[in-house]
Chain A
Amino acid sequence: MADQLAIGSRRGLRPALPLLLPAYLWLTVAIFLPLSAMVFFSFMTDLPLAGKDWAFTLGNYAAFFSQSLYSTLLFASLRLGLEVTLWCVVIGYPAAYVLAKVLKGRSREAIFLLVILPFWSNGLVRIFSWAMVLREGGILDTALNAVLPFKINIDLMYSYPAVIIGLVHSYVPYMVLTCYLTLQAIDDSLIEAGRSLGASRRQVLWRVIIPLSMPGLIAGSALIFVPVVGSFMEPRILGGRTGTFYGTVIEDQFVAVFNWPLGAALSFILLAVVLIILALAAPVLRRAG
C-alpha cells in the first residue's frame, strides 16, 4: 500500500467514479445505446412510432442477402477502400520516410505540420475543392491545354478516378503520420550496420526498414480503409451518377427512402465488417500505440 501511494496511483473504483461517470454516461447515451438501438431496429418491420404496427423480422437482412445489389455495392465499397489505401501507401510512405530520415530540425517540424494541417480542416470543403480542379474547363483542363500543343479534354469530374483522387487527398496525411511515427523510431545505426555489412540500399529497405515500420503501415491502412468503406459524401460530390456505393445507399435509406430498419440492417452489416477489420489490425495497433 505504501508503495502504491508512493507512485501516486491508488486503488479502487469508488473514488474514481465521480470523475469517470459524467464522461462515460455521455458516451453511453450518445454512442453505445444508439449502436445497440440500431441493432434492435434492424430486426423490425417498421419504426414503433406514431402507433404504427411493427413486428420482429429477419427481412432486412434477407434483403441484403437476396438482392445482389447490396452485396455488389458492399464489394464496390471494399474495393474502393482497398484502392484508396494502396494509393495512400504508395504516396504517403516515401513522404514519411523523407520526413523521418532526410529532413532535420525545424524544416522537418514545419513540413510535418504542413502535411497534417489539411487533415484537420474541413473534409467536405476539401472534397469540394477538387471539383474546381477536375471539371471540364477547370484548372487541370485549362492548364494542360495551355501547355500541350494539341487539344485534349480533361473531364474527370463525376467519375471513379475523381472519387479515388478526392479520397486519397483526404486520407493520405493519416498514412504519413502513422508511418512517420514508426520510421522515426528506427535507430539510424541499424541502417548503417546493414549498409556496412554489405547490404544494398534495396536490401536494407526490404529487410530492415519496411519490416520495422510495418506497425505504422498497418495502423495507417486500418485508419484509412475503415472510413473509406463507409464514405458517402465524397462519392456523391465527385462521383455523381457513378458514385453509388454502399455508404450512399445507407444514406438514401435515412434521408430519401425513409426505410430506417433496412438502413439499420445495412449499417450493422457495415459495422460488422469494420469490426472484423479492426480486430485483425488490433494486435498491431496496440503494439504501435
Chain B
Amino acid sequence: MATTRILEGLGRFYIVLLLGFLYLPIIIMAAMSFNASPFYQLPFEWTTDWYASLWQNDQLIAATWNSIEIAVITTLISTVLGSMASLALYRYEFRGKKFLQALLFPPIAIPWLITGTAMLIFFFGVGIGRGLIAILLGHVALALPYVIVVVSARLQTFAPELEEAARSLGANQWQVTMRVTLPWILPGVIAGGLFAFAVSFDQFVVSYFLSTPGQTTLPVEIYAAIRKGFTPEINAVSTIIIVVSMALMLLTARFFKFGGEK
C-alpha cells in the first residue's frame, strides 16, 4: 500500500502544479497592474496610478457602462424567456420536442467566429446594422441555451405531482407556476441568470463583429488597446474584469452544482 500512498501524493502534487499553471499568469497580470513601471520592469514598485488613470479614460468608462447595461438586459430577457421555454419542455409532450432540444446546441457548439460573422451579415442585410441593439440581440441568443439547460436540470428534480396536487386543489395555471413550481426551481433560475450575465459580460467575439466605434463593449475596447500595444492600464481594467467575473461564478456555484454530485 506504500505505492498507493506515493501515487496519491504525486497526484495531489500534480493538481497543485495544474492550479499554478491556471492561476499564475492571471496573478502576474494583476500584480503588474500595481507596478509603477509602464514597461512592466522589475523591481516591483507599488502604485495605484494605473487604476486612477482608468477614471480619466472616458472611452473605457463608456464601454464599461455599455457592457454592464447589455449584460443586465441580456440577463433579464434570457432568464424570463429561457425559464418559460424550460417549463414548456418539461410539462408537455409533443412531436418535435427532441428536435427543439437539439436546436439549443448550435448556439453553444458553433464557434463564435461563425455565429458572429453570420449575425453581422444578417443584421446588415435586414437593416438593423451594427451597434448596441445588434449586440444585445446576439447576446440574448447566446445566453438562452445556457439558461434553458440549467433551468431544465433543476426541473428534473421537481416532482410533477406537486403541480397536479395544486391543480386539483383549484389553482389555475398561473398560480401553479408562480406559487408552486417557481419557488422550487428558483435556485436554477438564479444560476441560469448568473450564467447569462457571465456569457454576456465576458463575450468578446460576437460583440467584436457587431460593434461600431461609438457603440462598443469593454472586451472589444480591451482587444483594440492590446493590439495597439500593452500598457499597465490594460492590466488594471483586466484585473477588475477577472475579479468581477470570478466573483460572479463563485456566486453561481452556490446555486448550481457543477460537479454533477448530489
Q: Which residues of A contact B (CB under 8 A)?
A: 4-13, 15-17, 19-20, 22-24, 26-27, 29-35, 37-38, 41, 47-49, 91, 94-95, 97-99, 102-103, 109, 111-118, 120-126, 128-133, 137-139, 142, 169, 172-173, 177, 180-181, 184, 223, 226-227, 229-233, 236-237, 247, 250-251, 254-255, 260, 263-264, 267, 270-271, 274, 278
- From A113, A137, A271, B114 is in contact (CB under 8 Å) with A271
| B87 and A19 contact, CB distance less than 8 A | yes
- B114 lies within 8 A of A94 (CB): no
Q: Which residues of chain A come closer than 8 Å to B252, judged between CB atoms?
A: 120
Shortest distance from the beta carbon of B251 to any chain A beta carbon, whole Å: 11
| In contact, A177 and B18 (Cβ under 8 angstroms) | no
Rounded to whole Å, the gap between the CB of B94 and the closest CB of chain A is 4
B52 at the interface (CB under 8 A from A): no
Interface flags, B1-35, vs A, CB<8A=1, else 0: 00000001001101100110111111011001000
- What 6 pairs across the A-B complex have the smallest Cβ distances? A8-B160, A230-B111, A30-B141, A34-B122, A19-B88, A129-B29
> Besides A126-B242, A132-B32, A232-B113, 12 other CB < 8 A contacts?
A13-B94, A30-B119, A30-B140, A47-B121, A98-B12, A99-B15, A118-B23, A122-B238, A122-B245, A128-B238, A250-B113, A254-B120
Contact residue among A32, A123, A274 (Cβ-Cβ distance under 8 Å from B111): A274
Judging by beta carbons under 8 Å apart, are B94 and A38 in contact? no
Contacts of A227 in B (CB 8 A): 111-112
Cβ–Cβ contact B198 & A120, under 8 A: yes
- Please judge, given known A-B contacts A132-B29, A271-B114, whether A31 and B93 are in contact too, CB under 8 Å: no
Closest to B223 in A: A124
How far does the alpha carbon of A19 sit from the alpha carbon of B81 in the complex, in Å?
Answer: 8
> How many Å lie between the Cα of A181 and that of B198 in the bound state?
23
- Quick one: which of A5, A16, A91, A125 has the most chain B CB within 10 A? A125
In the complex, 12 of the A-B residue pairs with CB atoms within 8 angstroms, ordered by the A residue number, are A7-B160, A11-B93, A19-B88, A24-B103, A30-B141, A32-B106, A34-B115, A35-B118, A102-B12, A113-B250, A131-B226, A137-B40
Residue numbers of B with Cβ under 8 A of A are: 8, 11-12, 14-15, 18-19, 21-26, 28-29, 32, 40-42, 77, 81-82, 84-85, 87-96, 100, 103, 106-107, 109-115, 117-125, 137-138, 140-141, 144-145, 148, 160-161, 163-164, 198, 201-202, 204-205, 208-209, 219, 222-223, 226-227, 230, 234-235, 238, 241-242, 245-246, 248-250, 252-253, 258-261
A28–chain B nearest beta-carbon distance, Å = 9
Residue of B nearest to A142 (CB): B42
Q: Is B261's CB under 8 angstroms from A184's CB?
A: yes
Report how far A270 CA is from B113 CA in the complex, Å. Answer: 10
B21 touches A38 (CB 8 A): no
- With a cutoff of 8 Å between Cβ atoms, the chain A residues found around residue B253 in the complex are 113
Given contacts A15-B92, A26-B140, contact A20 B100 (CB under 8 A): yes
Chain A nearest CB: distance from B174 CB in Å? 12
Asked if B18 contacts A260 (CB within 8 A), the reply is no
Query: Do A118 and B84 have beta carbons less than 8 Å apart?
Result: no
Q: In the complex, are the beta carbons of B113 and A247 less than 8 A apart?
A: yes
A125 near B238 (CB under 8 angstroms)? yes
Whether A169 pairs with B22 at a CB distance below 8 angstroms is yes
The complex places the Cα of A33 from the Cα of B18 at a distance, in Å, of 42
- The docked-state distance in angstroms from the alpha carbon of A136 to that of B219 is 26
Q: By the criterion CB–CB under 8 Å, are A16 and B92 in contact?
A: yes
